[in-house]
Amino acid sequence: MFELIFLGTSSSAPTVTRGLAAHVILHRHYRFLLDCGEGTQRQILRSGLGFKRLDTVLLTHGHLDHILGLGGLISTLARWENLDHIDIYGGRATLARVHELLFKVVFAGHRPPIEIGLHAIRPGDVICTDDKFTLTAFEVSHRGPDNLGYLFEEQPHRPFLAERADALGVPFGPERSLLVRGEAVALADGRVVQPDDVLGPALPGTKYVHIGDVGRTDNLIEVARGADALVMEATYTEEEGGMAVDFGHMTAARAAALARDAAVKHLILTHLSRRYAEREIRQEARLTFPNTFVARDFDHFQITRDEVVRVKKEE
């Protein structure tokens, strides 16, 4: 399962109810901050998440409404939190702007009190992987170079078939844990039980795709294919579709068309222009893809295989 908390859902400029782009993704012991618009540190405090273990930042691109909050956040982390390092991932052009912000403005003339790792990544790079999940970057088309999206994908797993284990006389305890890990076990009567005896066919893990600002979708169909949740921007409606093209952004209808064409299960829209009410974005998207949410600041989603639960109910 992945948990997603929206900290900022406005585009370009904040509104009274919406901050600038920032999201926290939780998976087991991992915590990722994806984008960091102005005011993100206050949104983290208001959300109740706090700063502990928030030491990995993923950036979609280098526009200021997605990175400007890093200065204040890292300054606070350095002074008040028990963190000795923070790792920031993004495209080369994005990190060049972040370097200017942090080392020529925030910490100009002195060494930062925590280690700041700037990690340039390219499409296809694996940022994090273990036996449970993989986090990979992919290319996104927006204004300027080095725009990225992020794919969070659990590894396939074989379900443990308790009824088979019962029939074979496998006792409760470490023997079953070993079989789940793929190791054979010897029973007290001398019989050896193999993992294939008690594990079912492999099932795909949860797939969650996160796209920041984006101007085209034809190159995203395969990476989004079959995703349990697709998060992406919907800055405009089709009424201003020409402006969306001019500025390399997305309309609600075009985002919904990607979700439909890629056989996505759930679509979550964010990065709304202040010119629209939430219902306008939702109504336009649902004409093409009914299973659409429009995120609000502090919305909390739990993403599992085939299901997305909005923990904070719509008002």
Q: Which residues are annotated as a binding site for Zn(2+)?
A: 61, 63, 65-66, 142, 213, 271
Determine how many CB atoms are found less than 10 A away from the CB of residue 175: 19
The angle subtended at Cα 154 by Cα 30 and Cα 310, nearest 5°, is 75
Annotated binding-site members: 61, 63, 65-66, 142, 213, 271
Q: Which residues pair with 302 in a beta bridge?
A: 3, 309
Which residues have a Cβ under 8 Å from the Cβ of 241 and sit 6 or more positions away? 251, 253, 254
Whole-angstrom CA distances from 305 to 218, 260, 308 are 25, 18, 8
Angle at alpha carbon of residue 291, lines to 249 and 252, rounded to 5°: 20
Q: At what angle do helices 252-261 and 278-288 cross, to 10 degrees?
A: 30
Cβ count within 10 A of residue 186: 10
CB 51 within 8 A of CB 76: yes
Enzyme catalytic residues? 65
C-alpha to C-alpha distance for 92 and 119, rounded to whole angstroms: 8
Tell me which H or E stretch contains 56.
strand 56-58
> Residue 208: which region, alpha, beta or left (left: phi > 0; alpha: psi -120 to 50)?
beta
Dihedral (C-alpha) 114, 116, 117, 120: value to the nearest 10 degrees?
Answer: 170
Tallying the residues shown for the chain, one arrives at: 315
- Specify the residue for token string 């989603």: 301
